[in-house]
Chains A and B, each alone.
Chain A
């Protein structure tokens, strides 16, 4: 399949759709800038949605207590005032400059030409934690995501993990796979109780307190045949498996951003008080950044990204003033 890489343009590209990036999208719109937001995760909300969507957040001004999921929904609604373009499930892999203007390429080949880039990538790119036994099967029988459920139709599928992803995929594949076996190293599942209940009723074989100890088949031909499971008691059982899907969580690091030439400070990006990095027209805000006295809180990230966006507005149009005016004046 060959497709011509798409080229998109905007005044500002925001890299990272967590709370800081979403508020940045609102703010860019408030300053009259067209905005694209890219995030490697399939949903907006960053760490809040990935780690604690059901927890109450209590340390953001004017919100005495709000569930993580609702907090993110509010940020998205606020940003939507100015209709930013979201490119979710796509990773920004490279950053270059052409005539001093940033050009960012995404992992699907999309090229984004923005007049400025604001990095709000938090703790960086989440990458799947590998299945230690059988990692050599990755790409031929072993995968870390369900991208297209139809691939697993009429197959024997073993899903490994105890969180929401493992349960969601077991639930989704129960009706289309030949068999689904769910394997979790612990006794209890972390994922949503209602999903677990559906999986339990679906005829899925559930093995708790059990680990995968071997993947067997014809590796050269890429044909997986069976998986050996071992219970905590030491008892082993072999199950037929065409596909193994390991949902063992994510580890985050700076990822491709590390190679972009932005000045780093440990695992963070060094910025000045305006949120400028060392690269022209590249700003950063939120948990990603570091400077003397930094405190990593959402409240701080909101202030930083507002500051950065006002400076972006003036850099792109020096006729503008740094102070944006009051949002109460705006009838939009």
Chain B
């Protein structure tokens, strides 16, 4: 189980979620932030903080193809090499160590609202 950041975050990146995440599992990309599902503890602290209502719980994605695309994309952000990197970032165990990654998945990089 995990929370997922959806389309509303794109070009917004408020970071309110990053501040409240107790396990530091929200990674800042170029146009949006991404939650690592293997590190998320499903506490929901981020969901209520998001000023643009971008965050949803993965269970909602089962019924909504738009949300499902962002769940799948969040997995890809960690599991597949990002543009300009040879290796996937995997499960680093904390976003702070990495800093802003400044890069997105091809899906988000090309996303037009």
Residues of A within 8 A of B (CB): 47, 50-52, 123, 126, 129, 162-163, 185-188, 190, 248-253, 267, 287, 296
12 interchain pairs (CB within 8 A)?
A51-B43, A129-B19, A185-B19, A186-B14, A186-B16, A186-B51, A187-B51, A190-B49, A248-B19, A251-B23, A251-B96, A252-B22
For B4-27 the 0/1 string (1 means CB < 8 A from A) is 000000000011100111111000
Bound CA span A208–B16, Å: 13
Establish whether residues B94 and A253, one from each chain, have CB atoms under 8 Å apart when the complex forms.
Answer: yes
Q: A110 → chain B, closest Cβ, in Å?
A: 26
Chain B nearest Cβ from A321, distance in angstroms? 36
CB A11 to nearest CB in B, in angstroms, measures 31
Cross-chain contact of A251 among B15, B22, B43, B49 (Cβ < 8 A): B22
Which residues in B have their C-beta under 8 angstroms from that of A186? 14, 16, 51
Q: State whether the Cβ of B44 lies closer than 8 Å to any Cβ in chain A.
A: yes
Q: Which of A47, A126, A163 contacts B43 (CB 8 A)?
A: A47
In the complex, B93 has a CB within 8 A of chain A? yes
Partner of B24, one of A47, A190, A251: A251
Q: In the complex the two chains form, what is the Cα distance from A248 to B19 in whole Å?
A: 6
Do B19 and A123 have beta carbons less than 8 Å apart? no
Q: Which residue of A lies closest to B20 (CB)?
A: A249
Q: Contact residue range for chain B? A: 10 to 19
What 7 pairs between A and B have smallest CB-CB spacing? A251-B24, A252-B22, A249-B19, A51-B45, A51-B43, A249-B20, A186-B16
Query: In the complex, are the beta carbons of A52 and B23 less than 8 A apart?
Result: no
Task: Kindly list chain B residues whose C-beta atoms are within 8 Å of the C-beta of A47.
Answer: 22, 43
In the bound complex, CA of A267 to CA of B96 (Å): 17
CB atoms of A123 and B49 under 8 A apart: no
Chain B residues, CB < 8 A from A126: 22
| Interface assignment of B41: CB less than 8 Å from any CB of chain A | yes
A185-B19, A187-B51, A249-B22 known; 14 new pairs, CB 8 Å cut-off, are A51-B43, A52-B43, A52-B44, A123-B22, A129-B96, A162-B19, A186-B14, A186-B51, A190-B49, A249-B20, A250-B22, A251-B23, A251-B96, A252-B22
Q: Which of A52, A187, A188, A267 interacts with B45 by CB under 8 Å?
A: A52
Q: Tell me which residues across on chain A come within 8 A of B16, comparing CB atoms.
A: 186
CA distance in complex: A186, B18 (Å)? 13
Closest to B45 in A: A51
B63-95 interface bits toward A, Cβ cutoff 8 Å, 1 = contact, 0 = none: 000000000000000000000000000000110
CA–CA, A248 and B18, complex, Å? 10
State the CA gap A251–B23 with chains docked (Å).
Answer: 5
Q: B24 to chain A: which residues have CB within 8 Å?
A: 129, 251
Tell me, rounded to whole Å, the shortest Cβ–Cβ distance linking A227 to chain B. Answer: 19
- Nearest Cβ on chain B to A19's Cβ, whole angstroms: 13
A296–B51 CA distance with the chains assembled, in angstroms: 28
Docked Cα-Cα span, A111 to B96, in Å, equals 33
Q: How far is the CB of B96 from chain A (nearest CB, A)?
A: 7
CA distance A250 to B44 in the complex (A): 15
- CB contacts (< 8 Å) of A162 on chain B: these are 19
Smallest Cβ distance from B34 to chain A, in angstroms? Answer: 17
Closest Cβ–Cβ distance, residue A290 to chain B (whole Å): 13
| Cα-based distance from A74 to B20 in the complex (angstroms) | 26
Distance (whole angstroms) from the CB of A269 to the closest CB of chain B: 15
CB distance from B40 to the nearest CB of A (A): 11
